[in-house]
Structure formats: structure tokens, C-alpha cells
């Protein structure tokens, strides 16, 4: 469904993504992990059309490099950001409506907003300003706004960051429900290995923009190269 081949991104002298390739199959939950600064968020920025790059990214067999971010969103690729971004002066339902109006491949449909608010379990807070939501609420809202664009692939950037065990459980369930009930293919960048081994069917580890290992999540997390790369990261 999504295939990156020989993707390289340079910021001046820095090679943030270095000859990277991977394939995400339809219906999968695909994980990406690696030390800080490994290039994970940059991969999302390349897939969503924020920067030029060398190499190829194909979505449903079509080359998407060179397309603008809104064109890529219209094809059905949506994302959330590492730091929850909400519109503090809008209510929960207004915020989800923004996603619906801007990104939606289908016609505007207020009933869909209703369904999404239900799906992310924000019904009781629907008329509250987004600024009043707690961290879990903000994260559910950001996911709801992404769902409003009606994505085929949803890319989550460290959705568990800063969350406690209860919040992590709630977010994992939400991710699983999006995958199973809505049929959305998911890519997730995450530091918590336990979350990745429980949720994903395939896991890619990158370091300094380069693939260390990719495959079955349990095998990957037990791979000596991966253990080494994480221990090495801690020493910095
Ligand atoms: N717009 C940019 N201009 C210059 N350098 C950048 C830019 N975006 C990212 N970088 C650099 O590219 C490298 C990879 O950054 P990136 O944000 O993709 O890492 P990451 O794996 O998401 O890290 P983290 O786990 O901390 O979120 C870093 O060295 C970063 O400083
Ligand atoms: Mg990042």
C-alpha cells in the first residue's frame, strides 16, 4: 500500500534519512522506532509532502513524491503530530469539523462528525473548548481530527508520549479499534517497545536515518543490533 525506496533527505550537511526503504501492507499496524534524532518524524514529513527528497514513495502504486501536502491528504494519508496541536479557541466538535472540511475526500457530512466524536469517546466534552481538555482528551481530539479527513493510512507520531499507564491503555485500544473496525492502515512511531510489540505486525528500527532492522516485532526487539543501538543511544 505504501512503499518507500531509496529515500534520502539531507538538511544541508546532515543526512536525516539515508537510503531508507520499507513497505507497509494494507490493513497493517506498522511500527517505527529508533533513538532521538534518528529521522522518524522526518520520514512522516517526507510521506506527507512537506519536503523534497531523493528516492521514491509510492502509495497504492502511484508515485507521490512532488505532490503537495493537501494533494497527499486527499489521497487518504493523514497524520498526527508529536506535540498535540489543538485550536484552543474552538470546541471539540468545531475542531473535528475543521478536519472534515479541509481534508475530507468525501462531501461535507455533519453526521460523520457525530460518529467520530463517538468513536474517540469525546461525547461528553463535545461543546468544551479544546484548551480545557486533559492530555488524553487532546490526543483523542487530534486523532479525531485526523479521522475526519477519512484516511486510508493514519500515521501517529509518538502518541503515547507523556501518558500514564491508564492513558496508554486507552490509546492502544483506540488505535486497535481504528485498525479493526474502520479498516485504517496505521503507522506508529513509538518509544515504548511493549506498545510496539503488542500493537504492530511489523517493526522498523532506524538510527541516524538508516535501517537497523525490520520485520517481526518480537524478533526485531530481541535483535542484538537493536539492543546495541538503544544502549548506545543512552550513553549520549
Ligand atoms: N527542518 C529541519 N531542518 C534541519 N534539520 C532538521 C529538520 N528536521 C529535522 N532535522 C534534523 O534531522 C534529524 C532527524 O530529526 P527527526 O525529528 O526526524 O528525528 P526523530 O527520530 O523524530 O527524533 P525524536 O525521537 O527526538 O522525535 C535530527 O538531527 C534533526 O535535528
Ligand atoms: Mg520525532
- State pLDDT tens for residues 62-75: 999 999 999 999 99
Dist. CA 91 → ligand 1 center (Å): 32
16 close to ligand 1 (CB < 6 Angstrom)? yes
SS3 content of the chain, % helix, strand, coil (to 5): 40, 25, 35
| Distance from C-alpha of 145 to C-alpha of 129, rounded to nearest angstrom | 14
The b-or-e profile of 196-235 (16+ CB within 10 A means b, else e) is bbebbebbbbbbbbeebbbeebeebbebeebeebbeeeee
Q: Are 38 and 21 a contacting pair, CB within 8 Å?
A: no
pLDDT of 203 > 60? The answer is yes
- Whole-number pLDDT of residue 232: 61
Please enumerate in sequence order all residues whose Cβ is within 8 A of that of 64, keeping only pairs 6 or more positions apart, or say none: 47, 49, 57, 58, 72, 75, 77
Using a 10 angstrom Cβ sphere, with 0-12 exposed, 13-18 middle and 19 or more buried, the burial of residue 12 is exposed
In the chain, what are the domain boundaries?
A: 1-76+153-159+185-236
41 close to ligand 1 (CB < 6 Angstrom)? yes
Tell me the pLDDT of the chain averaged across its residues. Answer: 91
Q: Is the pTM of this model over 0.85?
A: yes
Please name the residue whose Cα sits nearest to atom 25 of ligand 1. 36
67 close to ligand 1 (CB < 6 Angstrom)? no
| Distance from C-alpha of 141 to C-alpha of 111, rounded to nearest angstrom | 17
Please name the residue whose Cα sits nearest to atom 31 of ligand 1. 37
80 close to ligand 1 (CB < 6 Angstrom)? no
| 77-79/153-157 β-pairing | parallel
The domain made up of 1-76+153-159+185-236 has a fold known as: Rossmann fold (3.40.50)
> Which grid cell is 40?
522518524
37 close to ligand 1 (CB < 6 Angstrom)? yes
| Distance from C-alpha of 193 to C-alpha of 143, rounded to nearest angstrom | 21
DSSP-based three-state secondary structure for 179: helix
pLDDT band at 106 (very low <50, low <70, confident <90, very high): low
**Mean pLDDT of the region 214-220:** 95
Place of cell 524478533: 219
Please name the residue whose Cα sits nearest to atom 18 of ligand 1. 39
**Mean pLDDT of the region 91-96:** 90
Q: Which of 33, 37, 212, 230 gets mutated to test ligand 1 (max ligand atoms within 8 A of its CB)?
A: 37
40 close to ligand 1 (CB < 6 Angstrom)? yes
| Distance from C-alpha of 192 to C-alpha of 35, rounded to nearest angstrom | 11
Dist. CA 83 → ligand 2 center (Å): 9
Closest CA to 158 of 198, 195, 127: 195
Please name the residue whose Cα sits nearest to atom 27 of ligand 1. 36
Closest CA to 229 of 2, 36, 1: 36
39 close to ligand 1 (CB < 6 Angstrom)? yes
- Whole-number pLDDT of residue 172: 98
Amino acid at each position: 500500500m505504501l512503499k518507500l525506496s531509496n529515500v534520502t533527505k539531507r538538511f544541508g550537511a546532515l543526512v536525516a534519512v539515508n537510503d531508507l526503504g520499507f513497505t507497509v501492507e494494507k490493513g497493517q499496524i506498522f511500527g517505527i522506532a529508533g533513538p532521538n534524532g534518528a529521522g522518524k518524524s522526518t520520514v512522516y514529513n517526507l510521506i506527507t509532502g512537506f519536503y523534497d527528497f531523493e528516492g521514491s514513495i509510492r502509495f497504492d502504486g502511484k508515485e507521490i513524491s512532488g505532490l503537495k501536502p493537501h494533494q497527499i491528504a486527499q489521497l487518504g494519508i493523514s497524520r498526527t503530530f508529536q506535540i498535540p496541536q489543538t485550536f484552543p479557541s474552538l470546541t471539540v466538535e468545531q475542531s473535528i469539523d475543521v478536519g472534515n472540511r479541509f481534508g475530507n475526500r468525501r462531501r461535507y457530512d455533519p453526521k460523520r462528525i457525530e460518529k467520530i466524536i463517538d468513536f474517540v469517546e469525546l461525547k461528553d466534552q463535545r461543546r468544551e473548548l479544546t484548551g480545557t481538555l486533559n492530555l488524553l482528551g487532546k490526543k483523542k481530539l487530534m486523532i479525531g481530527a485526523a479521522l475526519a479527513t477519512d484516511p486510508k493510512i493514519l500515521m501517529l507520531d509518538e502518541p503515547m508520549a507523556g501518558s500514564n499507564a491508564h492513558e496508554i491503555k486507552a490509546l492502544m485500544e483506540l488505535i486497535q479499534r481504528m485498525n479493526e473496525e474502520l479498516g485504517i492502515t496505521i503507522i506508529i512511531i513509538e518509544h515504548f517497545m511493549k506498545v510496539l510489540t503488542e500493537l504492530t505486525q511489523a517493526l522498523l528500527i532506524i538510527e541516524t536515518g538508516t535501517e537497523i532492522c525490520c520485520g517481526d516485532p518480537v524478533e526485531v526487539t530481541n535483535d542484538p543490533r537493536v539492543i546495541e543501538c538503544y544502549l548506545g543511544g543512552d550513553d549520549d
